[in-house]
Structures are given as C-alpha cells and as structure tokens.
Structure 1
Amino acid sequence: MSEGPVVVGTDGSAAAARAVRWAAQEAAFRHQPLHIVCAVDLDLAERLSAETTRRVREAARSLLGEAAAAASGRAPGLAVSTEIGREPAADSLLRAAASEAPQAPGGTAAEATIVVGSRGLGGFSALLLGSVGLTVAGQARCPVVVVRGTERPSSGVVVAGVRDEEDLEAVRFAGEAARRRKASLRLLSTWTYLQYVGSMAPMADVVRVAVEAEAAASTRMLGAVREEFPDLKVTEEVARVPSPAGELVAESLRADLVVVGARRRAHHTGRALGRVTHALLQHAHCPVAVVPRG
C-alpha cells in the first residue's frame, strides 16, 4: 500500500503547532498534500445559540488559517487544505484520514497518515498524552504519528521496534521514513528473561534459548529489509532488557522517529493499546509512529 496524504489536527495548543510543523515536513518529504483539521464538535455546538455557534466557527477558521500559514512556512509550495470537523476531535481525524486517501496508480489505496500532538488544550500538565492521541492511535486503521519531545537537530536514525513478522508493515514504514530523511534504520527486538527461572531447573537454559530465538524477529527480517531498501544503512539488535518499553524510550533519545506495530487488545477494558506501545506513547522523547500490524 503506497503512502498517501498527511492529516493533522490542530486546536491552537503549542503541542498541536509542533505537530502541524512536523506533518508539513512529512507531507513535503512524501510529495503529498497536507490536510489540517480543527474539530469543534458542531453537532454539540448546534444546541447553542446561533451567535455562539458563529463565534466557534470563526475561532476555528482563525486557528486553521494560522496552522496553514505555519505549514506553508515550514514547507513552501506544499498543497494545504483545511477543514472544520463537525464530530469530536478523534472522530474528525479518523474520518478525514479515510476520506483524504486517494487511489494510487494501479488502483491500490494510498494510505493516509494521521499526525497528532502529544497533548491538546484540554489536557492536564500531568497527562503526558491526551485522550485524543490515545483514541486515534488505538482505533486508526492507518499509521498514526504522535509528535512527542522537543524540536532538535536530526540524529539521522529511525528506530523500528520489532516483535515478530507481523511487524513487517511497521518496518517498511520505518524504512520509507529513513529513506526520505537520508537516515539509517535500526531494527530492535527486545526480550525479557525472568531471573527467577534460572533457579527453577536445568530446563532454564532451554527456555532462555527458545525465548531468545523467538525474539529475534529483527534478525529474520534483516535480509528482506536490505533487499527492499538497498541504499539504506540497516542495522539490527536483539537485546535482553529489564523492560522493552524502557529500552524503546531510551532509544527515542537518540532517534528522529520510533516506529512500532499497533498492538491492540481484541476485548479490552481500559486502554486499547498494548502496554509497551502505550508506555512509549506516554514517555518517548521523539515522535512515535504506530502502524497497524499484519
């Protein structure tokens, strides 16, 4: 599936402003348009007075104008469109991504990517990722990038967290991102070996070897990735760590982007994402891309 346009949400917050700038650069890298959405939940606003609804619309148009100007400033010549979303923010972004994705050459769907900031105006400072970001990342059937961290010079590295072969689409997304940025790609598989297993029986070594082999998905993918991206520097590592989430957060200090496959719970109560993805979205020091698995 080819990469299509970029859809980004704005609400006037500093986090959203950074997301717009990142999304503009990403759209320019792809030679694709940027679509900016400001969701005001007009279905709710219509229960307000006509004057209040008018002011809400005017404020949204003003925010969109500022965001579009910022996007054009970051990527001159970029095709930028704007929209006032009628639904709640997460619903508006999901719908916009579905409607903005065009047909690519050959009749295949060109997949849009949604970009959101780490926290909007409605968030408390203690919440590291707002509910909109979590909802979109947990429900989207297209890639979602949560723009975290602070703007800084490029490290020239894109990291892909790999658990198994179902993460191949995430690795491809990471490879394309690295290629566009003239960066290297680092495949990282992590595994946790419970220390107490070693005291249980001589079978501990058998368990360790089996678990380590299963974790080495990055090694198994290495040849295929190098064949698909022959001009890209690709490295891989299988690391035994106390915490896979902690290792990926640490890697984010040295990366321009961390990419993971979306691990969603089929019958979840509470968070929809797996605990490693959830923790990475809450604590990473750089933008994080969540790509549907399989």
Structure 2
Amino acid sequence: MESTIRTPDTSSVIVGVDGSEPARRAALWAAGEAVRRGRPLRIVHGADTDGRALYLSAEKVEEVRAAGRALLDETAKAVAAEHPGLLVTTEFSRADAVTSLYRAGGLHGTLVVGNRGLGGFDSLMLGSVGLETAAAARTPVIVVRGVDEAGGRGTVLAAVRDEHDLVCARYAAREAELGKASLRLLHVWNILQSVGSVAPMLDDVDAIADEHASVLEAVTERVHAEFPELAVESDAEKSLSVAGVLVEASRRADLLVMGGRRAPTALGLGRSLGRVPHRVLHHAHCPVLLLPRAGADSGSGS
C-alpha cells in the first residue's frame, strides 16, 4: 500500500464537479493545492450517461453532455480567474462520478471532492459520492469542508494511531512544508478500548498512557529527523471519543491528514470507512485528507 502513495509535490490533483456549490468550492481549493504542489489541475465531470442510457432519450443524452461540458468550462474559467498561471485541463466522462474520478486519478493522483453534491444532503454531512470515493480509493482523497470558517490557521494536523501512520505523518509534514505551515501530530486513545473495562483502568492507566506516548514519540522523532526545518508539535490525549477529539482539533487546522482504515461491509461486499474516519469526514471543520492505511490491521473498522 505504501508504494502507491506519492508525496504531495509529485501527485497530480484531480477534482470532481457536479454543479453544486460545495463542488465549486472544492475546485477552487484543489486549484490552490495544485499551485502549492506545482502540479496541473484536472477537473472531471462524470455525467453517467452510459449508466442511464436505457432511461434517457438521445436528445436528453445530448443535453446532459452539453450541460456537463458547459459546467467544466465555467469551472475552469473560475479557477483561471483566481490562479491565472495554473495549467488546467478538463475531462467529461460518460461514466458515473466515482468511477470517473478513480480512472482520472490512476495509481498516484490525489482526488478532491466537495463535502456534498446535488443530492440535497445537509451541509454538515458528507454526500454519497464523496463517501464512496473516500471509502474505496487506493490513492489519497481530500474532502473539502470547513473552508467558509476562519482560514489561515497555519497548521496541518495529522492523526497518528500507531507506527503504521508514519506514512501519514510524513505526508502531513510535506503538506505543511508546501503550505509554509507548522505540523501538529495528535495521538488519541480510547480509555475503555485500551483497558477493556473500568476496573483495571484504575491500576493500569499510567502504564497504558506511557505506552501510547511512546508510539507518538517514535513517530515524532522520525518526522523531526526527516524534516529538521519544520515546526512540529505532538500531543497524546485520552478520550472516550477519538473522532470527537479529532473533530474539535480540526477547528484549529487548515488540513487534517489521517489514515483510512477500510473494512468489509456487513454483507462482505466492497469496502467501507471505519467508524473514526467516517465520523471525521462528516463533521470536521477543515478539509480532510484521507490516506490508504498501511499495516496488517488496515481492515479494522475502528
């Protein structure tokens, strides 16, 4: 898994648009990310005309295609107005939105989506396309949310669960360098999950806390060694809600980078997000960059 993840400065940036305002904001945010990386931006619209061919007349199919191409042109013009030097390409796809993004991203592209689309989801919730894209992608996915809140916080936040999240910490460190920001590594451990019950917690909590702190310290030392000029802060917190702590911490970050722990669905078909990434993607106060998580336990649902 690690071999499929390129550092931000060498990854192409692909954003999906569907005509919604969140998708437009995602496109503008993705353009800024492409500028930071020194990479071109590809804007993709998946019209799903192939999937709906049996239900649409030839005239309607042509109408949908014309509307999709017009949307791509309008979005490209909006991006060019804010980033005149950025190389922008557009892609109209007859496939559905998720398939179109996967194909455009290839093996190493970073996919960017808005927090909701045209389906009428509440603004606090992640839309179905964003959720499906984040759940099954094998390359980094950024869900753009919280951009209307106070920006310019100057911090990239990385969620560190264990040593397998060194990839995540490195990626976040590079994002911080590109954005001339500082890096905060945050390790959150659930008290009851760690001890199993309240009774042994009273005797063992200090030892458990030390064990969790050592995990964070090891990752922090590696990041310091590889990024000696970067300002790095690290914190370990205990809580009954890992996701709750990360969501609150996202209020003070420009970007939250975390590993996605994907698990089989209840029926054993496909993959889905674990509980913590799922909640964070729904409620974070800043854009969330989700990386495929390495390690033997990457199929866990937590």
TM-score over 0.5 (shorter chain): yes
Q: 1:61 touches 1:84 (CA, 8 Å); kept in 2?
A: yes
What residue number does 2:132 align with? Answer: 135
Identity rate, percent:
47
Structure 2 unaligned regions, length at least 5: 1-5, 295-302
Contact 2:147 2:287 in 1 (8 A): no
Task: Give the C-alpha shift of residue 46 in structure 1.
Answer: 3.2
Unmatched tracts of structure 1, length 5 or more: 102-110
CA distance 1:212–1:66, change in 2 (3 Å): farther
Partner of 1:282: 282
**Superposition RMSD in Å:** 2.1
User: Could you say which residue in structure 2 is the equivalent of 1:32?
Assistant: 39
Structure 1 stretches of at least 4 aligned residues deviating more than 4 Å after TM superposition: 195-199
Measured against aligned partners, the alpha-carbon deviations of 1:217-249 in whole angstroms (never above 9, x if no partner) come to 321111110121121100101111231101100
TM-score computed with the length of structure 2 as normaliser: 0.87
In structure 2, the partner of 1:58 is 66
Write the letter of the residue equivalent to 1:149.
G
Which residue does the alignment assign to 1:70? Answer: 78
Looking at structure 2, the residues matched to 126 and 79 of structure 1 have their Cα atoms a distance apart, in angstroms, of: 30
Post-superposition offset of 1:198: 7.7
Is 2:233 the partner of 1:235?
A: yes
Greater CA drift, 239-248 or 42-51 = 42-51
From 119, 128, 134, give the equivalent of 2:116.
Answer: 119
Q: Is the 8 A contact 2:183 2:230 kept in 1?
A: yes
The answer on whether the counterparts of 2:116 and 2:126 sit within 8 Å (CA) in structure 1 is yes
| 1:30 positional shift | 0.6
Contact map agreement 2:116 2:123 (CA 8 A) in 1: no
Q: Which residue number in structure 2 is paired with residue 200 of structure 1?
A: 199
**Structure 2 residue 141 is the aligned partner of structure 1 residue 144:** yes
State the shift of 1:210 in Å. Answer: 3.0
1:12 to 3, 9, 19: 19
Q: TM-score, normalised by structure 1?
A: 0.89
Q: Would you say the 8 A contact 1:216–1:238 is kept in 2?
A: no
What do the CA deviations read for 1:66-95 (whole angstroms, capped 9, x no partner)? 111122122221111111122111111111
- In the TM superposition, residue 193 of structure 1 has moved relative to its aligned partner by 1.5
* 1:128-151 deviation digits (Å, cap 9, x = unpaired): 000111111111111000001133
Aligned counterpart in structure 2 of residue 88 of structure 1, from 85, 93, 96: 96
Question: Within 1, Cα distance between the matches of 2:42 and 2:91?
Answer: 8
Q: Alignment length, in residue pairs?
A: 281
1:224 maps to: 222
- Partner in structure 1 of residue 297 of structure 2: none
* 1:104 corresponds to: none
8 Å contact from structure 1 (residues 163, 215) kept in 2: no
